[in-house]
A = this chain, B = another copy of it.
Amino acid sequence: MIALSLHRKVSVIGAGMTRFHHKLHLEKQGRELFTEAALEAAESVDNGFTLKEADALYLGYFSSDMFEGQAHISALMADWIGINPKPAVRVEGACASSGMAVNMGVLAIASGLYDVVVVGGVEKMRTLDTSKVTDTLAMAADVSYEVAMGFTFPGLYAAIASAYFNKYGSTWEQLANISIKNHENGALNKKAHYQETIMDIAKKLGERKQMSFSDEMEFLNSALNPMVASPLRLFDCCPISDGAAAVILAADDVAKKYTDTPVKIVGIGQASDTMALHDREDITALMASRVASRNAYDMAGIKAKDVSVACVHDCFTIAEIVATEDLGFFPKGQGGKAAMEGRTGLDGDVAVNADGGLKAKGHPVGATGAAMVYDIFKQLRGEAGDHQVADAEVGIAHNVGAAGATVTMQVYRR
């Protein structure tokens, strides 16, 4: 039975991340990126913390094998962050790898074995060119059935978008609007890959091509935003970024030694769904998002309406719309419209992807789940800077692996 409470409560006491970027980290290895994030996380602990105080490391990395030709990255990273002989575990769950690592860290502390653990993730993707990255990511789908038929993730999410449009009569503008919103947020986030609004980009690209655009929609509907997999265009897809994020978790009874303002992890959840889309009854919702979020809400004793700030997994714009419905923020079929009405903006009913989301912040896949926690930690402590959401009380991190075959969730409270 999956229980509604853990034997011991856990809090976040520190968090760090590198900037996510496609060029800045070309000379660095994954080991260097994660070490940078882990050191920043340690530095962020109010009353001081050195990584050697950690009892264990849980690290998400989707495919160090393919991207760096390096496996056993857990032990390598324990060595690099200087915590030997403490145990280190790599967890892999496609793009939800570090969401899993966070949950594993929570369980490991709740078990009573450890008091303080470092969790996080990294992905060094820019070792390969774009088509090879796409092929590598496609290994997270069912290779024997889906990939063998020509699917990669833009195609799988395009199928979701097409089915969704067909079922709910939604339009392309709703997708474009997600991209516009997330780039606006990303422009306010110093860790984001793209710190530019869509209008900034439209002006820049337009000038090069001697074109001008009166608004974002016009640009996004132009040839400068080419179709990737209909109906998804280039700006419906998150970029390919390198980066790392690290979070320090402590048992509640130990956390107070390190800070007066820990961020409490009040609920966790994880769920699986069929690997292949074709095995699902309905592809306009992710069943695993529904199960994982309900488990996490129930453990936290909250309802969806209580959430003030949400990092949701927007690898493609359609994914954010579907997520805001699956997570219970809006009824099915209403997510796109709600976002168009500004209800997911920084001052909306629930601020969704205040940090720019995967779309603008970037998506070094193994780092994403932990990077969400980084932003929630900052938001709930009022330290998020220009993209701070006023009076954020309850935050969630929703991390999706592949097309929803894995979903992890946590609920945080200040």
Contacts and interface: CB of A to CB of B under 8 A. Distances in A.
Given A72-B92, A93-B72, A140-B71, A272 B65 contact: no
Contacts of A79: 272-275, 279, 405
Interface in A85-100: 85-94, 100
Interface string A262-295: 0000001011111100010000000110011000
B85 A275 contact: no
A412 interface: no
Contact of A406 (B62, B74, B401, B405): B74
B112 A76 contact: no
A121 to B, nearest CB: 13
A1 B107 contact: no
A255 interface: no
A95 B83 CA distance: 21
Contacts of A273: 75, 79, 84-85
A413 B292 CA distance: 35
B72 A94 contact: yes
Interface string A39-63: 0000000000000000110000011
Given A7-B8, A115-B1, A88 B143 contact: no
A292 B8 CA distance: 24
- Which of A63, A104, A111, A292: most chain B CB closer than 10 A? A111
Nearest to A29: B144
A71 B94 contact: yes
Contacts of A113: 2-3, 6, 107, 110, 268
A402 interface: yes
A93 B112 contact: no
A78 interface: yes
Given A1-B55, A79-B405, A143-B68, A74 B87 contact: no
- Which of A68, A75, A84, A270: most chain B CB closer than 10 A? A75
A133 interface: no
Contacts of A201: none
Given A1-B115, A8-B111, A76-B405, 15 more contacts: A2-B55, A6-B111, A6-B112, A7-B110, A70-B144, A79-B272, A79-B275, A79-B279, A83-B272, A88-B272, A92-B92, A104-B107, A107-B111, A107-B113, A111-B111
Interface of A: 1-3, 5-8, 29, 55-56, 62-63, 65-66, 68-76, 78-79, 83-94, 100, 104, 106-108, 110-115, 139-144, 268, 270-275, 279, 287-288, 291-292, 401-402, 405-406
9 contacts: A7-B8, A69-B143, A72-B140, A75-B401, A75-B406, A86-B271, A86-B272, A87-B270, A89-B100
